[in-house]
């Protein structure tokens, strides 16, 4: 239920590396999300390091939004460095853009995850206006999953209803951005992506344990024992 977003800086004194935080939290995490900040901070080899040390999948989140050729090159490089899943923007569209990643994901077996809405205010002005169309792109091209913010539980409900159970819903926005741990799970998400609440806490392990326990409790409350 938990994906830890490993965005630096870590810990109170900024002396922790991503790998330490990943190892401390691995008992409670289904996987890790790595973005540009971490790769610029520690280098791209951190992807394989985290994957091999924790045994958990690593999602690389560059929120790709470019022409197909450029996204494909970037993705192939990231796969070489150990990425298990790639996040791209849905709004960039399929023809000439996502089509390259969709066919590569089927060929190579990595997971493609599309952003369909974001937590920040102006997502409403632009991206959210196309929310249901973006879900449709995910369905029509059978991608692995979508990103829908935990701060917008109504959109998670809609996404779950439209997507059915075949697609994974990943929800960021827990903790620092305002949503409560377990709230997106309750609304229908499969995973909550949690960054600073865990990575900046004095004890990432304890914070991850707390989030994980709360998620499981909320799961039972909202969906019953399954």
Q: Find the helix or strand (DSSP H, E) in which 197 lies.
A: helix 196-199
| Residue pointed to by tokens 């827990």 | 174
Is 129 considered catalytic here?
A: no
State which of positions 148-177 bind ligand 3DU (CB under 6 A). Answer: 149, 172-177
130 lies in the binding site for ligand 3DU (CB under 6 A): no
206 lies in the binding site for ligand 3DU (CB under 6 A): no
Distance of closest approach, residue 173 Cβ to ligand 3DU, in angstroms: 6
179 lies in the binding site for ligand 3DU (CB under 6 A): no
Give the span between the Cα atoms of 6 and 37, in whole angstroms: 9
Catalytic hit among 16, 33, 56, 63: 63
5 lies in the binding site for ligand 3DU (CB under 6 A): yes
Q: Based on CB atoms, which residue is closest to ligand 3DU, 2 or 163?
A: 2
Q: How far is CA 150 from CA 74, 113, 160, in A?
A: 28, 16, 13
Among 97, 137, 179, 194, binds ligand 3DU (CB under 6 A): 194
State which of positions 44-73 bind ligand 3DU (CB under 6 A). Answer: 61
CB 113 within 8 A of CB 146: yes
Size of the site for ligand 3DU (CB under 6 A): 20
114 lies in the binding site for ligand 3DU (CB under 6 A): no
Give the span between the Cα atoms of 126 and 143, in whole angstroms: 22
Q: How far is CA 99 from CA 110, 137, 143, 144, in A?
A: 14, 11, 11, 14
């Amino acid at each position: 239920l938990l994906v830890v977003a490993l965005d630096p800086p870590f810990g109170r004194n900024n002396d922790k590396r991503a790998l330490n935080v990943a190892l401390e939290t691995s008992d409670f995490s289904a996987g890790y999300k790595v973005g540009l900040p971490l790769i610029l901070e520690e280098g791209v080899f951190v992807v394989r390091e985290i994957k091999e040390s924790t045994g958990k999948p690593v999602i690389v989140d560059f929120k790709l939004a470019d022409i197909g050729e450029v996204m494909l090159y970037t993705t192939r490089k990231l796969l070489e460095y150990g990425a298990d899943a790639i996040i791209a923007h849905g709004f960039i569209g399929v023809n000439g853009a996502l089509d390259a990643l969709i066919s590569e994901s089927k060929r190579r077996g990595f997971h493609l995850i599309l952003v369909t809405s974001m937590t920040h205010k102006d997502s409403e002005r632009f991206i959210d206006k196309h929310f249901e169309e973006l879900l449709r792109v995910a369905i029509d091209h059978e991608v692995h999953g979508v990103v829908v913010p935990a701060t917008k539980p109504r959109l998670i409900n809609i996404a779950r209803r439209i997507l059915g159970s075949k697609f994974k819903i990943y929800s960021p926005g827990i903790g620092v951005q305002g949503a409560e741990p377990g709230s997106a799970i309750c609304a229908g998400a499969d995973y909550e992506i949690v960054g600073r609440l865990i990575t900046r806490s004095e004890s990432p392990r304890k914070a991850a344990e707390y989030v994980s326990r709360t998620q499981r409790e909320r799961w039972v409350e909202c969906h019953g024992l399954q």
